[in-house]
Amino acid sequence: MALAIAAGALAFSLLALSLFSVIPAKAAVNAAADSAAIAAAESASASSVAQACAIADQAASLNRATLLRCEVAGGEATVTVGRQILETTFSVTARAAVPRPEATAANGAIPAADLVLVSYPGVRESPAVYLRADAAAALLQLLEAYHAQTDDYLPVDEGYRSLEDQHRLFDQYGWPRAAIPGTSNHGEGIAVDFVNPPVVRGATSHSWLAANAARFGFSPLTDPDEPWHWDYTR
Ligand SMILES: [Zn+2]
């Protein structure tokens, strides 16, 4: 009998011991998940998704947890962090809303008089492609250089985009695939979309852009990865 009581007491104290260590540890995993989600959401509005998830990873580590999953989509950061407690890995998922960047008044509302029609073989004619004057001049030089070297033409799909069209794309694709209306470089008249396909990663046209676009002031959009989208950044 005494042995049974002793065994029961031992079992109880082991249970109590594990409960006392597990409960605060689980609270710590919750806190780690919350802080990682907030870190991802806050940084996503200022930087790229990849950077936002790297910062979430740091936030999780600071809380002695491991980032297991990080996704920023639809204006929300979703992270899962895990922490090993005794023999079990506890994982917690948390979400935080991404603060929206300030939209500028002119974005997507540039007067037609301030835009230049881009007219060159391969460039979409209807609806026509417009860009800010400096970006249009640079793009023409780029298109001519490509033609001179390859005897081919780069197909251009889109340049300037109105706020109304950006709203339509945003409703269709969500963030980050579509920029938040009022913040897109298309709305500034400095972004170019080549036709996709054929301008995809691995294609000759894309390799040429990767090697030469910078000479004309164009930079690729890599996060999110859109091989067809190039920004005039000069
Ligand atoms: Zn684009």
Q: How far is the CA of 35 from the centre of ligand 1 (A)?
A: 32
Residues 222, 226, 231, CA angle at the centre, nearest 5°?
70
Alpha carbon separation from 33 to 28, 61, 101 (Å, rounded): 9, 10, 24
End-to-end CA distance of the chain: 86
Alpha carbon separation from 104 to 67, 78, 184, 185, 188 (Å, rounded): 35, 28, 10, 11, 9
190 and 162 share a domain? Answer: yes
Q: How far is the CA of 145 from the centre of ligand 1 (A)?
A: 22
123 and 56 share a domain? Answer: no
- Burial letters for 171-188: b for 16+ Cβ neighbours within 10 Å, e otherwise? eeeebbebbbbbbbbbbb
Q: Determine if the pTM surpasses 0.85.
A: no
Q: How far is the CA of 195 from the centre of ligand 1 (A)?
A: 10
Q: Is the pLDDT of residue 175 over 80?
A: no
Going by pLDDT thresholds of 50, 70 and 90, the confidence category of residue 4 is low
Task: Give the integer Cα–Cα distance in Å for 224 and 15.
Answer: 48
Check which CATH number belongs to the domain holding 211 and give it. Answer: 3.30.1380.10
pLDDT tens digits for range 115-169: 999 999 999 999 999 999 999 999 999 999 999 999 999 999 999 999 999 999 9
* pLDDT at residue number 105: 76
Residues 6+ apart with CB under 8 A from 143: 120, 122, 123, 153, 154, 156
74 and 145 share a domain? Answer: no
* pLDDT at residue number 16: 58
Q: How far is the CA of 179 from the centre of ligand 1 (A)?
A: 9
39 and 148 share a domain? Answer: no
Q: How far is the CA of 53 from the centre of ligand 1 (A)?
A: 23
216 and 153 share a domain? Answer: yes
Domain membership of residue 104 (yes or no) is no
Task: Give the integer Cα–Cα distance in Å for 146 and 206.
Answer: 11
Q: How far is the CA of 171 from the centre of ligand 1 (A)?
A: 15
Q: How far is the CA of 77 from the centre of ligand 1 (A)?
A: 23
Task: Give the integer Cα–Cα distance in Å for 130 and 85.
Answer: 59
Which of the two residues, 36 and 6, has the higher pLDDT score? 36
Q: How far is the CA of 116 from the centre of ligand 1 (A)?
A: 18
123 and 220 share a domain? Answer: yes
Check which CATH number belongs to the domain holding 15 and give it. Answer: 3.30.1300
Domain that includes residue 69, residue range: 2-97
Q: How far is the CA of 149 from the centre of ligand 1 (A)?
A: 25
121 and 88 share a domain? Answer: no
Helix (H, G, I), strand (E, B) or coil at 82: strand
132 and 219 share a domain? Answer: yes
For the chain, how many structural domains are there in total?
A: 2
Which of the two residues, 210 and 30, has the higher pLDDT score? 210
pLDDT tens digits for range 206-223: 999 999 999 999 999 988
Going by pLDDT thresholds of 50, 70 and 90, the confidence category of residue 98 is confident
* pLDDT at residue number 52: 85
